[in-house]
Amino acid sequence: MASLKEIQLSPLVTENNMSFIVAKKLTKTYPDGTHALRGVDFSLEKGEFVAIMGPSGSGKSTLLHILGFLDRHSEGTYHFDGKTYDDYSEEEIALVRNKKMGFVFQAFNLLSRTTVFENVKLPLLYSDVQPSKRDALVKKAIDAVGLAHRTNHSSSQLSGGEKQRVAIARALVNDPGVIFADEPTGNLDSKSGQIIMEIIQKLNNEGHTIILITHETYTSQYAKRVITMLDGKIESDVKVTHRRSAQDHFQK
161 pLDDT exceeds 80?
yes
Q: What is the mean pLDDT of residues 211-220?
A: 92
pLDDT in tens, 171-212: 999 999 999 999 999 889 989 999 999 999 999 999 999 999
Q: What is the mean pLDDT of residues 27-55?
A: 95
pLDDT at 242: 85
CA 20/CA 36 separation, integer angstroms = 24
78 pLDDT exceeds 80?
yes
15 pLDDT exceeds 70?
no
pLDDT at 151: 96
2 pLDDT exceeds 70?
no
233 pLDDT exceeds 70?
yes
- Segment (H or E) for 31: none
252 pLDDT exceeds 80?
no
pLDDT at 247: 59
DSSP 3-state assignment of 134?
Answer: helix
pLDDT at 48: 96
Q: Are 22 and 12 in contact (CB under 8 A)?
A: no
Q: What is the mean pLDDT of residues 58-81?
A: 95
Q: If we measure between CA atoms, which residue out of 175, 187, 185 comes closest to residue 223?
A: 185
Q: Are 202 and 250 in contact (CB under 8 A)?
A: yes
pLDDT at 213: 95
Q: What is the mean pLDDT of residues 216-220?
A: 91
How does 26-48 read in b/e, with b if 16+ C-beta sit within 10 Å? bbbeeeeeeebbbebebebeebb
Q: What is the mean pLDDT of residues 130-159?
A: 95
How many C-beta atoms surround the C-beta of residue 208 within 10 A? 20
- Segment (H or E) for 180: strand 178-182
pLDDT bin (cut points 50, 70, 90) of residue 9 is: very low
pLDDT at 17: 52
Q: Is 52 exposed, middle or buried (0-12, 13-18, 19+ CB in 10 A)?
A: buried
Q: Is 114 exposed, middle or buried (0-12, 13-18, 19+ CB in 10 A)?
A: middle
pLDDT at 19: 87
pLDDT at 246: 62
pLDDT at 129: 87
7 pLDDT exceeds 50?
no
Q: Are 99 and 111 in contact (CB under 8 A)?
A: no
Pairing, β 83-84 against β 75-80: antiparallel
Q: What is the mean pLDDT of the chain?
A: 89
Give the sign of the dihedral formed by CA 207, CA 63, CA 226, CA 78. positive
106 pLDDT exceeds 60?
yes
